[in-house]
Amino acid sequence: MIDSIAKTPRMAKHLLRDGMMKGRKLMTKMAAQSMLSEFWDGNLPVNPAVIARAAGIAVRQDPELGTAVGRIQYEGGLACIDVHPDTSALRQRFVIAHELGHFMLHGGARFVDVEQELEPIQLDIRERQANLFALELLIPSFAVEILIYKRKIFSLEKLRTMFGVTDKALHYKLRRLGWLP
Ligand SMILES: [Zn+2]
């Protein structure tokens, strides 16, 4: 009897936490979708630098970033995203999208990101959110549905090129959407 009482609040806590996590993920995706609806011209691949500039955010290359691949900071009220020029063009797109995630979700905080922070497994929830945001910005869920359902594009290579992302990012996104096991 005591055991069953003790279990109830624990379970409720789990449910609450799961619900909050789902809510946060949804909010993150919606933030990316709202940025797309406001600043995207509708062409693939999505160009995160063009979106950033349309939103009034400076995007620059900074060789002084050292071991970091990207950074967002605020200079005189202006948001500035810096990417390391030695990073591949494909990676730079993801870095900019990731920093845009920080911009949209983490109100004015400065972030300096190293390569590991762009990996799917993150302990820091803000890094996970920025990655989820970047995935939705570069690979909009509705665009995946249109390309696969309506345009019958099943080639991963073709999708990868159309979205301008790495294999890893595409696989991750398609798994999340249930298209890949
Ligand atoms: Zn980050």
170 lies in a domain? no
- Burial (CB < 10 A; 0-12, 13-18, 19+), residue 142, is exposed
* Length of the chain counted residue by residue: 181
Is the CA virtual torsion 99, 70, 111, 117 positive or negative? Answer: positive
**What is the whole-number distance in angstroms between the Cα of residue 11 and the centre of ligand 1?**
32
73 within domain boundaries: yes
pLDDT class of 1 with cuts at 50, 70, 90: very low
List, as ranges, residues with CB under 5 A of the ion ligand 1: 111, 113, 117, 127, 130
pTM of the model: 0.88
Ligand 1 centroid distance, CA of 10 (Å) = 32
**Would 146 be classed as within a structural domain?**
no
Instruction: List the structure tokens of 159.
Output: 């999708």
Is the residue at 144 inside a domain? Answer: no
- 63-117 pLDDT per residue, tens: 999 999 999 999 998 999 999 999 999 999 999 999 999 999 998 899 999 988 8
Residue 16: the pLDDT is 66
61: domain range?
A: 27-139
Domain CATH code at residue 133 = 1.10.10
Residue 163 lies in a domain: no
CA 30 to centroid of chain Cα atoms: 11
Q: Is residue 70 part of a domain?
A: yes
For the chain, the domain total comes to 1
